[in-house]
Amino acid sequence: MKLELLNYTPNGEMTIAQAGKLCYSAVGVGEIKEDLSQEEISKYIEMLIRLGHYSPLEHVSFTFAIEGVSRSLSHQLVRHRIASYSQQSQRYVKLDNFQYIIPPAIEANPKAKEIFLKAMEADQEAYGNLVDSLYEKNYEDFLAKGYSQKKAQSQAEKASIEDARYVFPNACETKIVVTMNVRSLLHFFQVRTCNRAQWEIRNLATEMLKICKSIYPAIFSKAGPGCTYGPCPEGPMTCGEMEKVREKFRSI
């Protein structure tokens, strides 16, 4: 997995404090800013989060580039709807040698890994055969519609890979750019850094949290799984390792 922070809102903690205080102030943001020290900003943001006044947090966002992750992960990631996503297309990008993610449990099991690798090889072969099988008919159809030879070739390949991609597995590697505001990120970290989250997205969420916290420690001071600073929200489905989890995320 490759994770890169592309951009984030500058002066984020000040922005949140100004936005929050404006709701209850008779003066403008300029005067509000003059009266705020960093210590006051940190305490104010902590209070906002504690009271559940989250709307000011939406004024600050982070943009990440994520590579070397599976389609299984991206299907989970895009369920977080208050975000923006730009993902590598399998309709327009021909994957002649597709990359894939091997789960650690399969990597550690020689027999399982052998089965897995054979399946990946079969998927790649099937993809190539499907593209070749579909191309000739698609090419003829586009020529019949009056397309030039060059355009018919381009459109025929696009149409062929558009359908051939259905053979690819969840393990197929993908690349995606995601932008989330702080409110969405805090919820994302709460559910996806939990021990009960799937291993791949849990690893991603944890690394994203480290980056966010290093930039704005006041905002993300208590970010992490739901049990980090309170009872486990999973009830009877708890992992039973709350103390270890708390120690881990309080030390990030």
Q: Are 175 and 89 in contact (CB under 8 A)?
A: no
Candidate list 71, 165, 183, 192, residue with the active-site label: 192
Calculate the average pLDDT of the chain.
95
192 is catalytic: yes
Q: Is 25's pLDDT higher than 80? A: no
Asked if pLDDT for residue 26 goes beyond 70, the answer is: no
Average pLDDT over residues 152-167: 97
150 CA to centre of own chain: 38
pLDDT of residue 21: 87
229-242 burial: b if 16+ Cβ within 10 Å, else e = eeebebeeebeeeb
Question: For the residues 108-121, what does the mean pLDDT come to?
Answer: 98
Q: Which amino acid is at 189?
A: F
Give the C-alpha separation, 183 to 136, whole Å. Answer: 50
> Helix (H) and strand (E) counts for the chain?
10, 4
pLDDT of residue 32: 73
Using 50, 70 and 90 to split pLDDT, how confident is the model at 29? confident
For the cut 80, the answer to whether the pLDDT of residue 121 exceeds it is yes
In whole angstroms, give the CA distance from residue 159 to residue 35: 61
Instruction: Please name the residues in contact with 63: beta carbons below 8 A apart, sequence gap of 6 or more.
Output: 5, 6, 7, 8, 177, 178, 179
- Characterize the bridge pairing of strands 173-181 and 2-8: unpaired
pTM, entire model: 0.92
Using 50, 70 and 90 to split pLDDT, how confident is the model at 123? Answer: very high
Which pLDDT tens digit goes with each residue over 174-229? Answer: 999 999 999 999 999 999 999 999 999 999 999 999 999 999 999 999 999 999 98
Q: Are 223 and 189 in contact (CB under 8 A)?
A: yes
Share above pLDDT 70 across residues of the chain, in percent, rounded to a whole number: 98
Largest CA distance in the chain: 72
